[in-house]
Chains A and B, each alone.
Chain A
Amino acid sequence: MKSLQKVQPTDHELLLLMFSGDEDAFAVLYRRRQGPVYRFALQMTGNTVIAEDVTQEVFLALLSKTAKYDAARGSLASFLYGVARNLVLRRLEKTVEVEDSAGPEDILDDLTRRETIESVRRAVLSLPPVYREAIVLCDLQDTSYEDAAQVLDCPIGTVRSRLNRGRSMLAQKLAVRV
């Protein structure tokens, strides 16, 4: 692993080392990829405990090879998002949908940035999951449409239409012009 500190190894190289038992390689890979997975889960659920659990389960699945990553089918990041998405959707089925408590009048009254951000977060969380995941991936996680399509297992056109629909729903909720 000493050489890994000098040059940035690819995800694939780290995976090979990891599967051969190199714990440092696993740690490097985890630190590189855990942030987006955690944020995705958090922005999808609004719950730090679930986000933490999902992040752990995603990497446990990678370790145990229960979810097999195939480099030919896409990037590791997309793969991890895909596993996280399945776990998140499973959790969302069990939890009550978040009520949209951010009415237009509330937004106008939200003067501080912090409050505005939390209002947006609540509005995102109140979207149906199918639109929420498109917004979270493309607008919040800055994932490309191609990668998002792979994660969501749908054509790029569907990603675009879900994004548009999600944004307009958000705009309605926030009473802000797009």
Chain B
Amino acid sequence: MKELLKALAENDRDLEAPVAVEMRLRSAFRRKHARPRWPYFAMAAAAVLVLLVYLRPKPQTMEIAVVTPPVPTIRLARPVAKKVVHRKPAPREVVTEFYPLMEDPPPFERGELLRVSLPASVMRGVGLPVSEERLTEMVQADVLVGEEGLARAIRFVANRP
């Protein structure tokens, strides 16, 4: 019995999977490790985002000093009519839909929305119409950044009175 099994093992010893299997696997490997082909606007948005993060002003520390309040002096005064301040209504924020910045993003779990200023040319990158003379104007945008640091989507913000 052992001899027969040994003969079968010897017979099969050099059997291997066809080369086509390796080709298919290597192709799958390349697809898996292919760098995402980021469109130009995504690269630009990421670059600006990084700059903004590094260049944004750091919050200033405030020193609180204890000051003894002066003793109030009481004066009789004529009542003064209150000034009526006409405040302008806060501008209404209008946002576009989100435009994806990655072709085949990994699953999204957590992330944050960052408000940034970007050149209007980025809007054209996602297919929004922008006239030539306004391409260099700065526009506000919300960039959705995943916890892995990838900028996944962008939406543009406009303030309407």
Q: List residues of A whose CB falls within 8 A of some B CB.
A: 18, 21, 23, 26-27, 30-31, 34-35, 37-39, 42-43, 51-52, 55-56, 59-60, 63-64, 113, 116-117, 120-121, 124, 135, 139-142, 167, 170-171, 174, 176-178
8 A/B residue pairs, CB under 8 Å, sorted by A = A26-B25, A35-B16, A38-B15, A43-B8, A63-B32, A120-B8, A142-B9, A167-B1
Residue numbers in A under 8 Å from B18 (CB-CB):
52
Known: A26-B26, A39-B15. A55 touches B21 (CB 8 A): yes
Number of A-B contacts (CB under 8 A): 85
Known: A23-B30, A121-B8. A174 touches B1 (CB 8 A): yes
- Alpha-carbon gap, A111 to B84, bound state (A): 115
B9 in contact with A113 (CB, 8 Å): no
B11 close to A (CB within 8 Å): yes
Known: A135-B5, A177-B1, A178-B2. A23 touches B12 (CB 8 A): no
- Alpha-carbon gap, A43 to B15, bound state (A): 11
Give the interface SS of chain A, mostly helix, strand, loop or mixed: helix
A23 in contact with B29 (CB, 8 Å): yes
B26 in contact with A27 (CB, 8 Å): yes
Q: Which B residues, 40 to 78, have Cβ-Cβ distances below 8 Å to chain A?
A: none
- Alpha-carbon gap, A121 to B32, bound state (A): 38
- Alpha-carbon gap, A124 to B4, bound state (A): 11
